[in-house]
Structures are given as C-alpha cells and as structure tokens.
Amino acid sequence: MRVGPPAASDPGHDRTNAHKALIPHKNRLKSRATDAATACMKYPYILFPGLLALLMGAATALAHPPLVHPATSPDADQAPDAIPGAVTLDADGLLQLIALQPDLTLIDARLRSDRKFGYIENSLSLPNTETNCASLARLVPSLEHPVAFYCNGPKCERSGISVRKALACGYKRVFWFRGGIQEWSGRRYPLLK
C-alpha cells in the first residue's frame, strides 16, 4: 500500500485537476492580501496610531534606562562565579578558613532585618548599602587582616558588592562565600537566630 500523494503515473490521478482544486483558495488568499494592502494605502491613518505608539514606546525605553544595572542588582538572577582579587569559597571552604584563621572577620552583607531568619555564628552585620572604607575600618583591624563576606546565596549580589568595595578600599585578603545562607543551611550547618 502506498502512503502519500499519488504519483503522476498512478492510474486515476489527474494532476491538472488536483492543481485546479487549489486555485480558488490561492485566489482567495491573494484577494485578501490585496484588499489589506489597498486599505493601508488608501487610508494611511489606519496605520498611523499603531506606528506612533510603537515609536513612542521605543523612545521611552531608550530615554529611561534601568536605574540599576542587572548584573549589580541585589535581585539579579545570578551573582558572578568569581570576583577578581577575591578567593571564592564554598561552605566547606568557609569552615576550613574559620578553623585556620581564628582572627577572620566574617561579614553578613544582607539587610539587618534578614538576620532574624538566621546567620552564621560570629558574623558581623554590615549591609552592602552601608559598606564603605570607613565602615570596614571599624570592623576589620587592618588591610592585611582576612575578611570574608556572605549574603543569601548565589542569586544575591549583596556580598559581591561588598567584596568589590573591600577590594577597592585596599583589603588584601578578601574571601567570598558565594553560596551564602542558602548553601550553608542546605548543608545543615548551624545558624544562630
């Protein structure tokens, strides 16, 4: 049994009749396209409001760029994988660093109100919005002193912003716990409340 359109050599198949059956549909489509084009040319004001709205929308988008760049927004989809000049740590790496560097200053870069949901023991609260050279100098004894930052997790950019500020202030031993509270609690490590 043959599947598909009949071959021209098949008996009973009339190629011209099959083609002729499609002509009315083709003509109807041509007629509708021609009618639409004619209406647009004859009555251009039909298109004008739509075209005007499109152009105004584009002009507005160009005139008002976003206030915060998505890559530096605290609500960005993803923080970068690494920040040049800082050592990126996972939860186990942070635990090792705490054990090897008892003088480590651990900074929670989240909003102060986030600490009520839990924070890593011995961490100090310094939200990224308050982080600057003066506030860091009050918490970190010297530019050579090890300092680590964390926030909510890999989608939170707050700690990344604080890390960049610490590097700009001249801190030499900067660590970034990129996974933050999300990774810490996911490993069932203790949080204080």
**pLDDT tops 90 at residue 162:** yes
> CA–CA separation, 167 vs 176, rounded Å?
11
Report yes or no: 60 and 138 within 8 Å, Cβ to Cβ.
Answer: no
CATH number of 72-186: 3.40.250.10
The domains of the chain are located at 15-63, 72-186
**pLDDT tops 70 at residue 130:** yes
**pLDDT tops 50 at residue 66:** no
Of residues 22 and 147, more confidence is placed in 147
Q: Can you tell me the mean pLDDT for 54-77? A: 44
pLDDT of residue 85: 97
Report yes or no: 169 and 142 within 8 Å, Cβ to Cβ.
Answer: no
Q: How confident is the model at residue 81 (pLDDT cuts 50, 70, 90)?
A: confident
Q: What is the pTM of this model?
A: 0.61
